[in-house]
C-alpha cells in the first residue's frame, strides 16, 4: 500500500509484549530512497527517549487499528544501542544497531535491502561481536540518512526553474521504499499537487535545501494531478509514467532482478 508519511506519524508501535510508543518521523537513505528507520517517541516509558525501529522488524501495519506490530520485545528495544535521533545517524551507529538485532547489513548486497527486495526478506543472523566491532571501526562516519521532517519544505528545481516544494513523501509499506515526492506547486503558480519519482532526482543540495529533478516545468504543469484523499492506483501510476515517458519503477526493478539472476547474484 502507498501512503504518505504524515499518515504514518502517530501510529502506535506494538511489540510482542506491549506498546513501545508512537511513530514520529522517518529516516530515509538519500541514495536508494528507502526508509531505513522509524523514529518512535516512547513517552514516559524510557524517560522520553526516542528509539529507532527498522522496517525489518515490522510484522504488519494495521491501518484500521492505527498500529504497527513489530517482532520485538520491549526489553530488546530498551537495551538497544542508544542512538541520538536529533543528530545524523552514521553508518558506524547503524553497524552497532544491526549487530545488536542480528540483522544482515542492508548495504551489503545489490538490492534495496542488501540480499532482498523487502526488509521481510532479510534473514536474521547471529553476528559475532568481533565482526560488529570491526565494522564499527571500518565503516564510514558519513551519513546518507535524512529525516522526512528535515527535507519537508525543500525547494524543487526542474530543468528550467523552480516549480514548488516538497510537501510529503509517499511510502510503500511493504518494501518501505519512497515511491514519490509529493510536491506543492502553489509557490510557482496557482496550481496543483503533483507526484515526482525519486528516480528522476538528479541531485539533492543539502546546503541550499533544494531537490533538482530531470523534468521540465511544462511537463510538471501538465502532469496528472495528485489528490491526497484518493488512493494511488496502478492505473494512476501508469498514467503518470506515460506522461513523463519514463519506465515505471516496477519494470525497472524486474529488469534489475533479471540481470542479477543472469549474473548469479
CATH code, domain with 200: 3.90.50.10
Range of the domain at 7: 2-146
Above 60 in pLDDT, residue 237?
yes
- 8 and 135 in a single domain? The answer is yes
Residue 28: closest CA among 89, 92, 87: 89
Q: Are residues 34 and 19 in the same domain?
A: yes
Domain boundary among 87, 111, 146: 146
pLDDT band of residue 137 (cuts 50, 70, 90) is: very low
Residue 265 in domain: no
Q: Is residue 262 part of a domain?
A: no
Look at residue 130 and tell me whether its pLDDT is greater than 70: no
Distances (CA, A) of 239 to 87, 201, 225, 247: 39, 19, 10, 11
Task: Tell me, yes or no, whether 9 and 125 share the same domain.
Answer: yes
* Beta-bridge partner residues of 15: 18
pLDDT band at 16 (very low <50, low <70, confident <90, very high): very high
Total domains in the fold of the chain? 2
Q: Which of 146, 176, 210 is the last residue of a domain?
A: 146
> Residues 119, 183: one domain?
no
Structural domain includes residue 199: yes
Percent of the chain at pLDDT exceeding 70: 89
Average pLDDT over residues 15-41: 94
35 burial type by CB count under 10 A (0-12 exposed, 13-18 middle, 19+ buried): buried
Residue that finishes a domain, picked among 146, 168, 203: 146
- pLDDT score of 145 more than 80: yes
Does residue 142 share a domain with residue 157?
no
Say if pTM beats, i.e. exceeds, 0.75. yes
Give the Cα separation of 240 and 195 in Å (integer): 8
Q: Check pLDDT > 80 for residue 112.
A: yes
CATH of the domain at 42: 2.30.30.240
Q: Which residue has the higher pLDDT, 121 or 61?
A: 61
Residue-level pLDDT at 128: 47
| Mean pLDDT of the region 67-75 | 96
Q: Is residue 182 part of a domain?
A: yes
**pLDDT score recorded for residue 69:** 97
121 pLDDT above the threshold of 80? no
Q: Are residues 83 and 132 in the same domain?
A: yes
Q: Are residues 39 and 169 in the same domain?
A: no
Check pLDDT > 80 for residue 113. Answer: yes
Q: Please name every residue paired with 146 in a beta bridge, in sequence order, or none if there are none.
A: 28
Query: Are 18 and 118 contained in the same domain?
Result: yes
Regarding whether 177 and 230 lie in a shared domain, the answer is yes
Distance separating alpha carbons of residues 150 and 25, to the nearest angstrom: 10
Q: Based on the fold, state whether residues 128 and 6 are members of the same structural domain.
A: yes
Q: What is the pLDDT of residue 125?
A: 60
Q: Are residues 13 and 140 located together in one domain of the fold?
A: yes
pLDDT score at 30: 85
Distance between CA atoms of 50 and 82, rounded to whole angstroms? 9
Amino acid at each position: 500500500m502507498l501512503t504518505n508519511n504524515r499518515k504514518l506519524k502517530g501510529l502506535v508501535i506494538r511489540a510482542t509484549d506491549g506498546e513501545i510508543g508512537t511513530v514520529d518521523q522517518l529516516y530515509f537513505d538519500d541514495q536508494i530512497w528507502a526508509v531505513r528507520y522509524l523514529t518512535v517517541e516512547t513517552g514516559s516509558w524510557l524517560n522520553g527517549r526516542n528509539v529507532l525501529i527498522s522496517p525489518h522488524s515490522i510484522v504488519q501495519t494495521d491501518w484500521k487499528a492505527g498500529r504497527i506490530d513489530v517482532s520485538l520485545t520491549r526489553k530488546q528495544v530498551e537495551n538497544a544501542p542508544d542512538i541520538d535521533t536529533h543528530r545524523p545517524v552514521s553508518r558506524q551507529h547503524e553497524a552497532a544497531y544491526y549487530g545488536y538485532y542480528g540483522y544482515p547489513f542492508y548495504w551489503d548486497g545489490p538490492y534495496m535491502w542488501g540480499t532482498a527486495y523487502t526488509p521481510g526478506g532479510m534473514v536474521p543472523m547471529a553476528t559475532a561481536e568481533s565482526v560488529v566491532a570491526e565494522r564499527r571501526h571500518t565503516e564510514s562516519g558519513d551519513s546518507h540518512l535524512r529525516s522526512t521532517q528535515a527535507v519537508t519544505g525543500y525547494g524543487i528545481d526542474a530543468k528550467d526553474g523552480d516549480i514548488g516544494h516538497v510537501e510529503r513523501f509517499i511510502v510503500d509499506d511493504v518494501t518501505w521504499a519512497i515511491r514519490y515526492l509529493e510536491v506543492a506547486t502553489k509557490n510557482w503558480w496557482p496550481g496543483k499537487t503533483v507526484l515526482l519519482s525519486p528516480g528522476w532526482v538528479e541531485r539533492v543540495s543539502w546546503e541550499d535545501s533544494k531537490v533538482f529533478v530531470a523534468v521540465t516545468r511544462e511537463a510538471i504543469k501538465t502532469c496528472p494531478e495528485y489528490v491526497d484523499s484518493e488512493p494511488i492506483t496502478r492505473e494512476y501510476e501508469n498514467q503518470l509514467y506515460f506522461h513523463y515517458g519514463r519506465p515505471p519503477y516496477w519494470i525497472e526493478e524486474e529488469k534489475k532482478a533479471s540481470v542479477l539472476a543472469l549474473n548469479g547474484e
